[in-house]
Amino acid sequence: MVAGILLSMLLQGLRWWMLLRAFIPHIKFSRVINVHFIGIFYSIILPTNAAHEVVRAVLLSKENDYGITWGSTVVSRILGLLALAMLSLFGIFLISKGVLPRGFYVSVLSIFIFLAIVFYLSFSKKITSPVRSISTKILPAKLQKIIEDIRQGIYMYRNKKKELFSVFLLTVFIQILLVGITSLLIAGITGKYFLPECFAYIPLIEIVSISIPLTPSGLGVREFLTKMMFNHIGISNEQLGVYIVICFMAILLKLVGAIPVLGGFLKNAQNKNPR
């Protein structure tokens, strides 16, 4: 389980590097991974499960093109949400008919269609131009310039279909890996894998945890939704408690991001006090 979670963290950094490399070919994988794990570390105390993406984008944008850095971050997030919605739909079809209410199917399908439309619109300047014309009248010029740079950074990926497809496949693999880890954990607690249910519910829990920026790493929100999932599939509160404790311990793996943070502090200290 530990190895799987650490692998998923590494692959998430690889995904971002693949997007960045499409327009910044000289960017080093080691530097992107370093910043990525720093972001993971700070996400322990910052709201939402997507906080690490903001932190790493802020850090890397100081060294590279601002629009590309933030544009790749937005594209990566949309692809991640699309993959989650797609896997949830897959899980729903794995579950026998009649188990879930019809409204649940419609809701997940609506989320997937909405995300697909957002992804498509992200690469269309014609559709976003009316919004831009309104924002120029409301927002300060400096803020408008930042938004325009990010908008251009996203728009540039319209001609990088090969890279987008590769990143999407990697994203799907990462999410399948995390769903598999969850299924193995539940099997260790209950003796049953509940794989279709994990595919149906776990991605949705992640989508909601990301979308509601209330707590660090989605703590509380994720546990509440997990309780609803466990109640639906017939797992006891005692087993839920064991699951939550183990998941909390897994979140502590994000402390691995402290390694590059401490490394940066030590490097700065040596530069200030050279022998």
At 267 the pLDDT is 64
* Residue 217 · residue 223 · CB < 8 Å: no
Q: Are 76 and 16 in contact (CB under 8 A)?
A: yes
State the pLDDT confidence band at 206, using cuts at 50, 70 and 90: confident
Span 151-174, pLDDT tens digits: 888 888 888 889 999 999 999 999
User: Using the 8-state DSSP alphabet, how is residue 123 labeled?
Assistant: T
Q: Which two tokens stand for residue 16?
A: 């971002």
The model's pTM is 0.84
Selected residue with higher pLDDT from 249 and 268: 249
Residue 16: pLDDT over 90: yes
> Contact at 8 Å (CB) between 7 and 175?
no
Rounded (10°) CA dihedral 254, 256, 258, 264: -130
Predicted pLDDT at 201: 87
Distance separating alpha carbons of residues 159 and 93, to the nearest angstrom: 33
CA distance 206 to 228: 14
pLDDT at 132 over 70: no
Alpha carbon separation from 246 to 41, 147, 243 (Å, rounded) = 19, 40, 5
Per-residue pLDDT tens digits for 22-62 = 999 999 999 999 998 888 888 777 766 667 888 889 889 88
Question: What span, in angstroms and rounded, lies between the C-alpha atoms of 122 and 155?
Answer: 7
Confidence of residue 228 (pLDDT cuts 50, 70, 90): confident
3-state secondary structure of 220: coil
Tokens read off for 219: 């703590």
- Residue 98: pLDDT above 60? no
Q: Which long-range contacts (CB under 8 A, 24 or more apart) does 101-110 make?
A: 108/204
Residue range 99-128: mean pLDDT, rounded: 77
The pLDDT value given to residue 204: 85
For residues 192 and 172, give the distance between their C-alpha atoms in angstroms, rounded to a whole number. 24
Burial class (CB in 10 A: 0-12, 13-18, 19+), 45: exposed
Instruction: Work out the mean pLDDT of the chain and round it to a whole number.
Output: 81
Most confident of 59-63, 104-108, 126-130, 205-209: 59-63
